Structure 1
Amino acid sequence: MFSYRHAFHAGNHADVLKHLTLLATLRHLMRKPTPLLLVDTHAGAGIYRLDSDAAQTSGEAGEGIARLQATPAPSHHRSKTVPAPASSAQGAMQNEALADYLEVVARFNPAARGAWRVYPGSPLLMHALMTEPDRAVVHDRLKLFELHPTDAQALRAHIDQLDAGRQVTMTRQDGLAGLKALLPPPPAAGGSRRALVLIDPSYEIKSDYAKVAEAVQDALKRFATGVYLVWYPIIPRPEAHGLPRRLRTLAQQAGRAWLDATLHIGAAADGAGLTASGMFVINPPHTLKALLDDALPQVLDTLREGRGRGAAWSVEAGAARA
């Protein structure tokens, strides 16, 4: 049950899609100066060494975040509205969301010369945004769940180093079960209730797919206006193919807007490993589709190098029901 360790996969193409989408969504939500409840149901260890034995064994970061760090974007993808990044670590990535993602990761590698050695997981990326000077005064809250004993211990140690007090809490528990007690979130001053929930299990167990769908269905009943992000693998398994369809149905039944972004970097030479994944967002920001439509071609151009057939990206979206 506890065999999966994200340390082997940190910074790979799936993390790139997941965290690019997460940060772009959070940036939009944080334009409003009212507190957010941020929930990560499968938080992992929180931060990962890219020079560890685990990362070096898999080599996945080398084909993921490391390539984005090192490879300039094609000039025809550059946005006229985003200035060239000051840090060479960002290369020439000019899409607003992609440049922001790389800049945030770069903050965790301030002394790095050459390839980055550290990759922040979702908990530390969310914490980084909620503690930026302009946002810190709002006092967002971050609730983390992690069930794996080793990762839970590492996550707690990393949280202690943040010295975040009650603003960040962590529980060793099944996050899908723990989510129920958090929704709807308590009202902030003025009565507003706002929440973002990230759901990204390993899906090692087939029943995880059904549990994710059930958790989202329950969450929409408890708090229909929350923003829900679900990462899922694209693999030849009926449960995997069925999950995004089920999530779309749940969003439509609830009358909520949705977005489904996928990234397939192409088959590996040996045909092994995960090559594609998706991010399904319920109640996405209205800006998200355009940002991903512009960013994902750049990501694919960089990550597909040396790969075989199947490389592709897509962003589908549906409007809320009036």
Structure 2
Amino acid sequence: MKAKNRNALDIGRDVLRIEAEALLAMIERLDESFENAVGAILSIPGKVITTGLGKSGIVARKTASTLASTGTPAFFLHPVEALHGDLGIVAKGDILLAISNSGENDEVLNLLEAAKKIGAKSLSLTGNLQSTLARNTDITLDVSIAREACPLGVVPTASTTAALALGDALAIALMEKRDFGREDFALFHPGGRLGRRLSLRVRDIMRTGEKLPVVSESDALADALREMTERDNLGVVLVVDEGGALTGVVTDGDIRRIARLEGTWEEKAAGPVEKFMSRNPKTVDADSLASEAVQIMEVRGITSLAIVDGKGRAAGIVHLHDILGRGKFTI
């Protein structure tokens, strides 16, 4: 069968299969060289300079970006421009991360030689462990593949996927070794929705005062339903005792459960909230990050969390929509 007559879906699946197999094979080959690479980057006083040409250059740019956003200072340096004035960005104490599938790219090799003269350490990601690049870098990581995904076997596909994935693996390993957390991530991402979301504290967005849906234990269930509906229809109302301490919640799910209980709705609606409420509600600290509140909600399968003060009194409530708006995302 001629290639042009192949089903597009079959072609797509073949490409994904070839690239997935390349990654799986690389998992089995990963060895102490990876640990050495992570250790070398952690030990340098300077930054990581990534480089590569063509498709490898694109991978190098992405790797530098991922490293920088996860706690490892990094820049991309074009190998040609480096030799025409931009080499000044490289300093003693830096490490050059060179990406080349063949390991024989002249521009990358020339940059490597110049960087080593400056005093930078070197690390390579290459598909050819016998290459000039592999022989001349301090640490070499194997990103070789069995074959490219294109029918000609020459278009960088599986090879760039392998290099990209190993770059991600380095970045995340370094991220964990540096104990780079959500607050650090928020600090490095001040712009855009993601940065604003992670930077928010619960106290910045929680509902308080007149916006807080709350009833007393002795109030009727009908009062709780009315309060729940009138306070932006959050689907939850907090229940407090005479001293204002949080003792439970009533949710729209509780209302549906109660409606199925034996007896008329009128009888149940007239009963005290204390009889029907869910006790030990989930809470979150006002100083917690909004992203932490989202995680609690996702794990617990709920859409709101109560906030209490130092004496256990109901101080506020935060709903999933207060953090996310009406869209949906996961952390």
* Larger-Rg structure: 2
Higher helix share: 2
TM > 0.5: no
Greater relative contact order (Cα 8 A, min sep 6): structure 1 or 2? 1
Query: TM-score if structure 1 supplies the norm length?
Result: 0.30
Name the TM-score, length of structure 2 as normaliser.
0.29
